[in-house]
Amino acid sequence: MRVRGPVSHPSSFICILRAIFLLLRHWHCLVKPASCFEIILFSIILPVAFFMRVIFRIYGSVQGIGYRWFVRDAAAGLALTGLVRNLRDGSVEGEAQGGKKAIDALMLKLKTGHPLAVITKAEVNITEELAGEKDFVIDSSRQER
């Protein structure tokens, strides 16, 4: 009597080949957006590694031209949270939270994007993250700290 192992049996070998073929054939499904891997990667791992909050202040001709709405729309388009407000000295101050690349893209837009703004100076400082924030909002104007 001859004893066969699981791989020596022809049907087991075919099953293994079929499984490898299906894996290779459908590999693109494993890396498509919204796969379980990407959900875990983008919602848990990457935010911890590349998540930040900044305080920014933009000086120049930035009030009375819709600049706060421009900032809000740009930040919302980049999936950032935070706020923006006018200050009494004529500057605009805000806080933005999200991925580092999105923060960098927002800062570039703020310095160059609004057609009516004349930017003379821009300051950006990293600060502590704020938990529970869901949107980017226009805050009421306030006096400087």
Beta strands in the chain (DSSP E): 51-61, 81-86, 92-99, 118-127, 136-138
Q: Are 62 and 13 in contact (CB under 8 A)?
A: no
The side-by-side arrangement of strands in the sheet containing 92-99 is 118-127, 51-61, 92-99, 81-86, 136-138
Pick the catalytic residue from 2, 4, 57, 86: 86
Pick the catalytic residue from 57, 68, 85, 88: 68
**Spatial CA neighbour of 124 closest among 137, 139, 111, 141:** 111
Q: Does residue 25 sit in helix, strand or coil? A: helix
Q: Is 88 a catalytic residue?
A: no
Q: Are 55 and 131 in contact (CB under 8 A)?
A: no
Q: Is 125 a catalytic residue?
A: no
Q: Are 136 and 121 in contact (CB under 8 A)?
A: no
| CA 125 remoteness from chain centre | 18
**Catalytic site positions:** 68, 86
